[in-house]
Amino acid sequence: MNENTTEIRDENVHQEITTTPTPHTGTQQTQQSTHPSRWKEWMRQLKEFYIECVRVLKVTKKPTMFEFKTIVKVSALGMAIIGMLGFLIFMLNRMLFG
């Protein structure tokens, strides 16, 4: 960058603003150039995310009835254990602190 170039950094946009004096009026003209590298990087990441989502959807399958029942039982057991633990903590708190 030369002395007439000012760099503006933003989290989402990277721009260079170049000011050059005009010979006739003595005022300065401003030119902006937006770097497409961040846009291209964002689009690349979005495309990769889409490809990964499609891959996951192709690999997944509907669970069998046995798998579904097992998942329901394990989830219910986990919720019951967490509920009992919370109730015990509540009762201890009431007995100790009133």
Write out pLDDT tens, residues 58-87: 999 999 999 999 999 999 999 999 999 999
Does residue 13 lie within any of the structural domains?
A: no
> Does the predicted TM-score (pTM) go above 0.75?
no
Does residue 83 lie within any of the structural domains?
A: yes
Q: Above 80 in pLDDT, residue 41?
A: yes
Beta strands in the chain (DSSP E): 5-9, 14-21, 28-34
Does residue 7 lie within any of the structural domains?
A: no
* pLDDT score for 21: 60
* pLDDT score for 32: 54
Does residue 56 lie within any of the structural domains?
A: no
Q: How many domains does the chain have?
A: 1
46: phi then psi, degrees, rounded to nearest 5 = -65, -40
Does residue 42 lie within any of the structural domains?
A: no
Instruction: Select from 90, 88, 70 the least CA-distant residue to 78.
Output: 70
Show the domain range for 86.
62-98
Does residue 33 lie within any of the structural domains?
A: no
Does residue 55 lie within any of the structural domains?
A: no
